[in-house]
Amino acid sequence: MIVCQNCKSQQPDGSIFCSECGTQLPLINSAQTQKFSPNTDQLQISGPYANQIPKQTGTWISLHLLDSGNILAFSEQLEFTLGRLSDNQPIEPDVDLSPFKAFDNGVSRLHAVIKNIEGSAILIDLGSSNGTYVNGIRIMPNVEQRLRHGDIVALGKLKMQVVLS
Instruction: Tell me the CATH number at 159.
Output: 2.60.200.20
Question: What pTM was computed for the model?
Answer: 0.65
pLDDT in tens, 68-80: 889 988 877 889 9
User: Coil, helix or strand for 17?
Assistant: strand
User: Coil, helix or strand for 63?
Assistant: strand
Neighbours of 73 (CB within 10 A): 18
Determine the Cα–Cα distance for residues 52 and 100; give it in Å rounded to an integer.
Answer: 14
User: Would residue 75 count as lying in a domain?
Assistant: yes
pLDDT in tens, 30-86: 444 444 434 434 444 444 444 544 444 456 889 999 988 899 888 778 899 999 998
Domains held by the chain: number: 2
Q: Domain range holding 10?
A: 1-31
Determine the Cα–Cα distance for residues 59 and 74; give it in Å rounded to an integer.
Answer: 6
